[in-house]
Chains A and B, each alone.
Chain A
Amino acid sequence: MTTVSESPTIGRDAAASMSPAIEMTAATKRFRTPDGSSYTALKNLDLRVERGEFCAIVGPTGCGKSTALTLAAGMERASGGAVRVFGKEVTGITPNAGFMFQTDAILPWQSVLENVAAGPRYRGVAKNTAYRDARDWIRRVGLAGFESNYPHQLSGGMRKRVALAQNLINEPELLLMDEPFSALDVQTRAKMSTELLGLWEQSKPAVVFVTHDLEEAIALADKVVVMTAGPAAGVKATFHIDLPRPRVVQEIRFDKKFNEIYQNIWEALREEVDIAYAQTTRSVAPDGKEAE
């Protein structure tokens, strides 16, 4: 077994028959800034995520990780290049995808049960069926007994479980997660990560998991993508993680191989973090402007 391989594309032959979950080629995203000029967040981003693959994205703050996810989800349109999900050009909200937001996005005026049943209800499933499935998912994410609670009556970790169940009940083939556990304390985060892996292994959707925590990224993913510092961010390097599964996130950190991988990726990530840090501490506005 090789520990780390560094190559932008893999498994061409294996996935040739089926289109990958995500295929971004030279994807570019420009934003209009309040003063009327434009800001290039992403430039020529190449990203490929296979079906069933767990891909983690790390990169300095503000580089465009969230933006990349919104492109895949269809919440934003690319300004240039191509974004394909399951072989189809993204033109609107991507169907059969789930999205977990960094901040809570479950509805505070709906109970846990109503929130989890929302997806099937929107899609026209009968109330009884939707609620029965929702109860099952609530149990699977460990929230049995809390069906009729409102979100404000739950802890932060429990709200994340609701969001997870809410997405998984739709049986997405692609799950986009934007720092889903970053608001949680360290122990809860590790525990939820392990549970996420357990749930992922049951149905194997493709996952794109954005995080600032490199340990978390390595512990979870098949592949870690390091992005360059913005503006005009792209992919710096891709690392394949072939630690054996099933993994237990709480314990994997003590693995020797884990540390080797960590060192390797951290080398790549640190440069970008330094660049980003230098930019923000110097002056933000002039550097951020579109120049190319």
Chain B
Amino acid sequence: MTMSSLDNTVTDQEQQPLSTEARSGGRKRSITRRRLKVLAVQLGIVVVLLGSWELLVRGGVLDALLYGQPTRIVNQLYIWVTQGTDNGSLGQQITVTIEEALIGFFIGTALGIVFGVAMGRIQFLSEVIGPFLKVINAVPRIVLGSSFVVMFGLGLMSKVMLVIVLVFFGVFFNAFQGTREVDKNFIANAEILGASKWQVTRQVVIPSAFSWIIASLHVAFGFALIGAIVGEFLGSQEGLGNLIRQAQGNLNQNGIWAAMLIMAVVALIAEWLITRLENRLLRWRPPQHSAAAEA
């Protein structure tokens, strides 16, 4: 057997079509039509819900003071945008809250990944630290918010701490589990090829655990927003949580709804960004996993 006869010896049966564009082109139109239909129905549901809410309030069935009113919520938003809030501009409030959530989210996620992977890889560490984490996890952590306000004051710090605590555990447990689930053959193969312990962790364990970790980020960002808002609610001078608290004090139901609406938009944008990150980092996966998100 000579070397040249080994070249390009992939048999026909082993060749696979690398692009499925030809097929998906034909299906594209019907998919678009389906999506339009879904969108139309969804829009209809929203219109009906908001419309009946508005009508019920106007007709006097629901008390505007207790339940709020869609048009007045819009009006409240308009006032905030044009005249600012009692704490300063609306943009400022949103920025403060997002800043707290993001800083806490990144630190909490980083800590969660480091601890999760380390404890998944090092048996001794998980035996020592495991029980402590179980105890802390059993505490209703949101209560720590009050404690942090006392400890760190009304500023950024107390919110960031609360966010870290809320974000950490979700990410940690997923990173730990993901590390434990790594295919043993992948690790053995890398070791035989010459990988050190650290190289196995970097090249095999972390990428493998990533699908678990990323899955936890969706929930973790929701927790980050909750942490920031609740933190502000418990004690602060600005931020969306502070606006909500003021609105509650003034029995301004429309203000509460308006702040909630802003948060929802922020959460949706974050969700979209995380999904994009997911598709980027996990693009090695077979298409059926990511196609839904891309479509």
Contact = CB atoms under 8 A, between A and B. Distances in A.
A75 B14 contact: no
A198 B6 contact: yes
B284 A141 contact: no
A254 interface: no
Contact of A122 (B7, B190, B207, B208): B190
Interface string A199-218: 10110000000000000000
Interface stretch (B23-31, B193-201, B234-242): B193-201
B14 A101 contact: no
Contact of B284 (A110, A140, A197, A202): A110
B3 A149 contact: no
A100 to B, nearest CB: 9
Contacts of B3: 140, 198, 202
Interface residues of B, number: 37
A157 B199 CA distance: 28
Contacts of A75: 188, 191-192
B192 A201 contact: no
Given A107-B207, A144-B7, A154 B16 contact: yes
Interface string B276-295: 00000010111000000000
A118 B193 contact: yes
A195 B4 CA distance: 11
A153 B18 contact: yes
Contacts of A140: 3, 6-7
Contacts of B204: 107
Nearest to A155: B14
Question: Considering residues B191, B193, B285, which has the most beta carbons from chain A within 10 angstroms of its beta carbon?
Answer: B193
A170 B10 CA distance: 23
Contacts of A94: 192
Interface string A111-140: 000000011001100000000000000011
Interface string B196-229: 1001000110011010000000000000000000
A18 to B, nearest CB: 23
Contacts of A194: 1
Interface string A81-113: 000000000000111011101011111111000
Nearest to A191: B11
A119 B191 CA distance: 9
B192 A98 contact: yes
A142 interface: yes
B186 interface: yes
A214 B218 CA distance: 52
A259 interface: no
Question: Considering residues B9, B190, B195, B199, which has the most beta carbons from chain A within 10 angstroms of its beta carbon?
Answer: B9
B284 A105 contact: no
A249 to B, nearest CB: 10
B189 interface: yes
A188 interface: yes
A149 B283 CA distance: 11
B192 A73 contact: yes
B6 A141 contact: yes
B192 A97 contact: yes
Contacts of B194: 95, 119, 122-123, 170
Interface of B: 1-3, 5-11, 13-16, 18, 183, 185-186, 188-196, 199, 203-204, 207-208, 210, 282, 284-286
7 contacts: A105-B183, A105-B185, A140-B7, A142-B8, A150-B284, A158-B10, A188-B11
8 tightest CB-CB pairs across the interface, nearest first? A198-B1, A105-B189, A142-B9, A122-B194, A109-B284, A119-B193, A105-B185, A122-B195
Interface of A: 73, 75, 93-95, 97-99, 101, 103-110, 118-119, 122-123, 139-144, 146, 149-155, 157-158, 166-167, 170, 185, 187-188, 191, 194-195, 197-199, 201-202, 246
Given A97-B192, A105-B185, 4 more contacts: A73-B188, A98-B192, A122-B199, A158-B14
